[in-house]
Every structure is written in C-alpha cells, then in structure tokens.
Amino acid sequence: MSRSEWSLQGGCHCGAVRFRATVVTGVGETPVAHECNCSMCQMVGFQHLIVAAEHFDLLRGNENLHCYTFNTGVAKHYFCRHCGVKSFYVPRSNPDGFSINLRCLDKVPEGTRLEPFDGQHWEANAGALAHLSKVGKK
C-alpha cells in the first residue's frame, strides 16, 4: 500500500522535552487529529495526533518527565517537571502508541483535520481510535 509520511518535531514550553514523530497516512490523505471532550483533555487543551510507538522518538528530556496515571493505570500522562506541559502521552485506547499534542508541534502539517471525539463516553467510543497506532507499522 502506498502512503504519505510527515516527519514532525515538537516539545514542551521550556524546551527540556523534545520529540520527533512520523505520521503515516494513505497517499493524498492528510493527518487527522482529535479534539476530545473528556475532563482531562478539556482542562489541558490536548489535541490528539496518535502514532505507532515505532514512529515516536524522545530526542531529549526523559529525566525531565513526570508520569501521572489514574483509574486503570494504562494511560501514561507525561508532563515536563519544569514547565508542566503535557506534549505527549501513552493513551489507554492505544497503549502501543503515543498521542502527541498537536499544540506542541513546531509545525502542524498543512491540511491536518481536527475531528471531535466524544471522550465523555470513552468506553463506548475508544474502539474508534485503536487502529490509529497501527497505521504504517513496519
């Protein structure tokens, strides 16, 4: 299958945490990010761009990350210890990938679509995201 790839970089506000990710789509397709209405995403303004773990590299700052978990403990929410920004995390819907905060990218790919996601009813809707961390796996 033919595909398009976008190489992205981003990080936290203070620069202590930096990452690189590759977003893979079908040829001619643009990346799709999700705006979740759950309480956590609304409070921190997180816009989700989900990638496979093999398409994510932490460039620097592992020692600057603090991990927060709650409920089932599957999701790993990583915050910079210095500035408090959550630039990425491991979502419960995609434990084999990372969700990157679109707002923490140096440059958002042109044409990226932002679609709503009903996280207030997470259990009923999470399955719709599961395939996103499998796109472009080698």
**pLDDT, position 122:** 82
Q: Show the domains of the chain with their CATH numbers.
A: 3-133 (2.170.150.70)
pLDDT, tens only, 102-133: 999 999 999 999 999 999 998 888 888 888 88
Amino acid at 76: K
CA angle in degrees (0–180, nearest 5) for 65-20-76: 35
pLDDT at residue 95 in the model:
94
18-45 pLDDT, tens digit per residue, is 999 999 998 889 999 999 999 999 999 9
Q: Average per-residue pLDDT in the chain?
A: 93
- Indicate the length of the chain as a whole number: 138
pLDDT at 137: 61
Planar angle of CA 126, 74, 21, nearest 5 degrees: 75
Q: How far is residue 119 from each of residues 54, 62, 99, 131, measured CA to CA in Å?
A: 25, 28, 14, 17
Mean pLDDT of 53-74: 96
- pLDDT at residue 6 in the model: 94
Whether residue 86 is predicted with pLDDT greater than 80 in this model: the reply is yes
| Tokens matching residue 13 | 């506000």
Res. 138: pLDDT tops 80: no
Tokens describing residue 88: 């990425």
